[in-house]
Amino acid sequence: MNPRLKSFLLWILAFVITVAAGYYQRTTGPTYEIRGKAVIDGESYKYKLIRTYDGSDDAPIELTISDPEVSGELRLRRYKSYDEWSTTPMVRQGDKLAGTIPHQEMAGKVMYHVTLMKNGKNYLLNEEPAVIRFKGFVPLGVLYAHIITIFLAMLFSTRTAFEVLFKLKYTYLYTWLTVIFLAVGGMILGPVIQKYAFDAYWTGWPFGNDLTDNKSLLAFIFWLVALGYQIWRREKKGWAVAAAVVLFVIYMIPHSVLGSEIDYTKEGQQTEIQE
């Protein structure tokens, strides 16, 4: 096969893998909306329950339910707390039923159920409670820069592995680019976003168990080792494949799993949820 065509096809494959991995990560994590459909008297209503909120006010829960005879309520309790469950009615606003979850400080979480009612019948939308996490607002410029650089890191990581496996000539260059994009996206912009969102630059090892921070650190270490071997001896390319596999596996871990959160059961955090 023509070398240029082979390289082009490998870039296309690396791009497809990166997009698929990124989509999977984003849509399977604990911050992705819970979506479903409720059937009331033969009428079907689609809904989504949010699980993250970055506003400074109460988090809005809104459902488009056109039937004026349908009412609703929220059942709330802070996550990791000794609180009793509390219930608050939803308010009809035209075709919508609206409720709010009281605002919490950064990394505070609240569990909630949504129940719809009509003619004495209850329709529980979520058997398992949805857990919403409050966070600070992250400027879009910083967020987009982080997303782009992490995407490029994954793209060059995958492409570097292909470069090694197909014995092509740009492994060293692509390794450098992978390390650079990982450094900027994961080790610089990642902590900046963490600071905006949860008022802490780093909550991974050795200061905490934040999986997002820890997996970024692990991937970066593997790629530094891969780069170091190639600086030492240019033909030492095996670590690049290993590092690419590690980064891909990390991408398969849903975003924000074991992320920052407040444990309200600890001393000094016992104040109950304010309605």
259 located within any domain: no
pLDDT tens sequence across 147-173:
999 999 999 999 999 999 998 889 999
Q: CA 138 to CA 189: how far, in whole Å? A: 11
Q: Are residues 106 and 178 in the same domain?
A: no
272 located within any domain: no
**What does the pLDDT average to over 116-137?**
94
Residue 74 sits in which domain range? Answer: 34-134
Q: Are residues 51 and 96 in the same domain?
A: yes
Q: CA 203 to CA 217: how far, in whole Å? A: 11
pLDDT tens sequence across 243-263:
999 999 988 877 666 567 888
Q: Are residues 157 and 243 in the same domain?
A: yes
Q: Are residues 15 and 64 in the same domain?
A: no
With 90 as the cut, is the pLDDT of residue 104 above it?
yes
User: CA 32 → CA 53, 117, 246, 248, distances in Å?
Assistant: 11, 26, 24, 20
Name which of 28-32, 34-38, 71-75, 133-137 the model is least confident about: 28-32
Q: Are residues 76 and 124 in the same domain?
A: yes
Tokens of 1: 């096969």
Q: What is the dihedral of CA 32, 115, 108, 192, to 10 degrees?
A: 20
With 70 as the cut, is the pLDDT of residue 275 above it?
no
- Please tell me which residue, 203 or 268, carries the higher pLDDT value: 203
Q: CA 133 to CA 73: how far, in whole Å? A: 20
Q: Which residues contact 126 (CB under 8 A, 6 or more apart)?
A: 34, 36, 49, 113, 114
Backbone angles phi, psi at 234, to 5 degrees: -55, -30
Q: Are residues 100 and 194 in the same domain?
A: no
Q: Are residues 18 and 70 in the same domain?
A: no
Q: What is the dihedral of CA 232, 238, 241, 247, to 10 degrees?
A: -50
Q: Are residues 187 and 238 in the same domain?
A: yes
Q: Which residues contact 217 (CB under 8 A, 6 or more apart)?
A: 187, 204, 205
Extended beta strands in the chain, E state? 34-40, 43-49, 52-53, 59-64, 71-78, 86-89, 91-93, 96-101, 109-118, 121-124, 130-134
Which residue, 83, 114, 134, sits at the end of a domain?
134
pLDDT score, position 36: 93
User: Measuring CA to CA, which residue among 118, 130, 127 is closest to residue 43?
Assistant: 118
Count the domains in the chain.
2
pTM of this prediction? 0.84
pLDDT score, position 258: 59
End-to-end CA distance of the chain: 67
pLDDT tens sequence across 195-248:
999 888 877 777 666 767 788 889 999 999 999 999 988 777 889 999 999 999
Which residue, 134, 159, 179, sits at the end of a domain?
134
Q: Are residues 212 and 90 in the same domain?
A: no
Beta strand 52-53 with 130-134 is parallel
Q: CA 189 to CA 140: how far, in whole Å? A: 12
pLDDT score, position 271: 53
Backbone angles phi, psi at 90, to 5 degrees: -90, 150
pLDDT score, position 267: 54
269 located within any domain: no
Query: Strand, helix or coil at 99?
Result: strand
Query: Strand, helix or coil at 109?
Result: strand
H or E element in which residue 168 lies: none
Which residue, 117, 134, 151, sits at the end of a domain?
134
Question: Binning pLDDT at 50, 70 and 90, where does residue 2 land?
Answer: confident
242 located within any domain: yes
Q: Are residues 130 and 142 in the same domain?
A: no
54 located within any domain: yes
Name which of 34-38, 134-138, 201-205 the model is least confident about: 201-205
Q: What number of CA atoms fall less than 13 Å from residue 244's CA on the CB side?
A: 26
Question: Binning pLDDT at 50, 70 and 90, where does residue 99 land?
Answer: very high
191 located within any domain: yes
- Please tell me which residue, 11 or 235, carries the higher pLDDT value: 11
CB 114 within 8 A of CB 93: no
Q: Are residues 24 and 143 in the same domain?
A: yes
pLDDT tens sequence across 37-57:
999 988 999 999 999 999 999
